[in-house]
Amino acid sequence: MGRYDIAVIGGGPAGYIAAVRGAQLGAEVVLFEKDVLGGTCLNRGCIPTKTYLKGAEIIHHIQMASMYGIDVNENFSVDMKKAVKNKNSVVNQLTQGVGALLKSNQVHVIDGEAYLESEHEIICDGKKYMADSIILCGGSKVDRVPIPGIEGKNVLTSDQILDIYERPKRLVIIGGGVVGCEIASVFKYYGSEVTIIEAESRILPRMDEDISRALTSAFKTEKIDVIIPTYHPGKEFAALLDCLEQQSCPVSRIIVMNTEELFWDTTWEKEHPCLEVHHLKKENFDHGGTRRQAAELSDGDVMVFLTQDAMPADKNTVSHLVKALNSQENIGAAYARQLPNSSCSFVEAYTRSFNYPDQSGVKTKDDLPVLGIKTFFCSNVCAAYKKDIYKKLGGFVEKTIFNEDMIYAAGLIHAGYGIAYAADAKVVHSHNYSCSQQFHRNFDLGVSQAQYPEIFDGVPSEGEGLRLVKKTFSYLIKHGKRYLIPGFIIQSGCKYAGYFMGKRYKKLSKKMILRCTMNQTYWNESK
Per-residue pLDDT reduced to its tens digit, 385-431 = 999 999 999 999 999 998 899 999 999 999 999 999 999 999 999 88
Same domain, 314 and 439: no
Residue 178 inside a domain? The answer is: yes
Residues of the chain with pLDDT under 50: 527
Asked whether residue 269 falls in the same domain as residue 416, the answer is yes
Identify whether residues 203 and 284 lie together within a single domain. no
The reply to whether 147 falls in a domain is no
One domain for residues 34 and 100: yes
Tell me: do 424 and 437 sit in the same domain: no
pLDDT attached to residue 136 = 96
What are the two backbone dihedrals, phi and then psi, of residue 323, each rounded to the nearest 5 degrees?
-60, -45
**Contacts of 320 by beta carbon, 8 Å cutoff, 6+ apart:** 66, 336, 422, 424, 425, 426
pLDDT, position 526: 52
Bridge partners for 311 per DSSP: 428
Closest to 19 in 3D by CA, of 96, 121, 131: 131
Q: Tell whether 504 is covered by a domain.
A: yes
**In total, how many domains does the chain have?**
4
Same domain, 303 and 449: no
Question: For residues 224 and 323, what is the distance between their CA atoms, to the nearest angstrom?
Answer: 12
Boundary of a domain, candidates 373, 398, 430: 430
Q: How far is CA 348 from CA 343, 354, 430, 481, in A?
A: 10, 10, 7, 13
Q: What local confidence, expressed as pLDDT, does residue 527 receive?
A: 42
Measured CA to CA in angstroms, residue 268 lies from 112, 258, 265, 274, 277 at distances of 55, 13, 6, 10, 10
- Give the residue from 1, 60, 98 showing the smallest Cα distance to 189: 60
CATH assignment of the domain containing 33: 3.50.50.60
Task: State phi, psi for 385 to the nearest 5 degrees.
Answer: -135, 140
| 394 plus 459 within the same structural domain | no
Q: Which pLDDT score, from 0 to 100, does residue 74 have?
A: 58
Question: 185 is in which domain, residue-wise?
Answer: 160-219
> From CA 207, how far away is CA 212, in angstroms rounded?
7
Kindly calculate the radius of gyration of the chain based on its CA atoms and give it in whole angstroms.
32
Give the residue among 206, 218, 215 at the shortest CA–CA distance from 177.
206
Q: Is residue 437 part of a domain?
A: yes
User: pLDDT tens, 228-262?
Assistant: 999 999 989 999 999 998 888 888 899 999 999 99
Do 194 and 331 belong to one domain? no
Same domain, 119 and 200: no
pLDDT for residue 1: 67
Same-domain check for residues 170 and 117: no
Sign of CA dihedral 295, 296, 297, 303: positive
Report the C-alpha gap between 4 and 19 in whole angstroms: 12
Within-domain flag for 50: no
Question: Residue 201: what pLDDT?
Answer: 85
- Do 292 and 187 belong to one domain? no
Hey, how many other C-beta atoms are within 10 angstroms of the C-beta on 266? 8
152 located within any domain: no
The answer to whether 484 touches 347, Cβ cutoff 8 Å, is yes
Same domain, 496 and 453: yes
Any idea what DSSP says for residue 518? S
Q: Domain ends where: 405, 430, 455?
A: 430
Q: What is the reported pLDDT for 461?
A: 67
Q: Is the pTM of this model over 0.75?
A: no
Q: What is the 3-state secondary structure (H, E, C) of 226-262?
A: EEEEEECCCHHHHHHHHHHHCCCCCCCEEEEEEECHH
Domain boundary among 400, 430, 460: 430
